[in-house]
Amino acid sequence: MKSIAICVAALALMLVSPAQADSVNQAIAKFKEAGATQEFFANAYGYAVFPTIGKGGIGIGGAYGEGQVFKGGQHTGNSTMAQVTFGLQLGGQAYSQIIFFQNADAYNDFTSGNFEFGAQASAVALTAGASAEAGSQGTSAGAGTAQAKNKYSGGMAVFTMAKGGLMYEASIGGQAFTFDPVE
């Protein structure tokens, strides 16, 4: 399954070539610029940031990205995200994602080695002039002048930031994460 996600995500990154891969530090800086994340950066136990996740699909889809995990502002490990989706979908896109951990329990769940978001997981998309919600069941968006707000769910809060591409999707699937501690 992971190899399918990597292949499809690589295709997605080729389709959205204008989106350059950011470094982890660049992605963190962009997320810090968003007003909706200020409270999370100030109070979170830790976070995982994925500077570039490539996503694509034609019927079957996938996404893949590599990132870093932080606790108390210190880099504690590296993580990968893989997703396989099935359903009505077409296109490719690239986006950044950050997951805030409310407390030690949430951090420990994520860093246990193999963590997966269930179908009920959702993320708030940070985009200028629009608010949107994205989850493992697809995306929906609406015009607006304020960014959507997020709250912790199960000790975690997820934000995404679009980088490029266009994808139509009505699919199901969850994100799976790995964690490798730094030595």
pLDDT in tens, 60-107: 888 899 999 999 999 999 999 998 877 777 788 888 999 999 999 999
CA proximity to 94, closest of 24, 33, 13: 13
Give the amino acid at 139: T
pLDDT in tens, 163-179: 877 665 555 458 899 99
Residue 50 has pLDDT above 90, yes or no: yes
Instruction: Look at the pTM and tell me if it is higher than 0.85.
Output: no
Dmax over CA atoms of the chain, in Å, equals 45
Task: Please give the Cα distance from 34 to 44 (Å, whole number).
Answer: 16
CA distance readout (Å), 22 to 66, 85, 126: 11, 25, 16
Task: Please give the Cα distance from 4 to 59 (Å, whole number).
Answer: 13
Q: Write down the pLDDT at residue 3.
A: 57
Task: Please give the Cα distance from 174 to 95 (Å, whole number).
Answer: 16
Between 13 and 160, the more confident residue is 160
**What value does the mean pLDDT take over residues 6-32?**
65
Lowest mean pLDDT among 10-24, 28-42, 148-162: 10-24
Percentage with pLDDT > 70 across the chain: 68
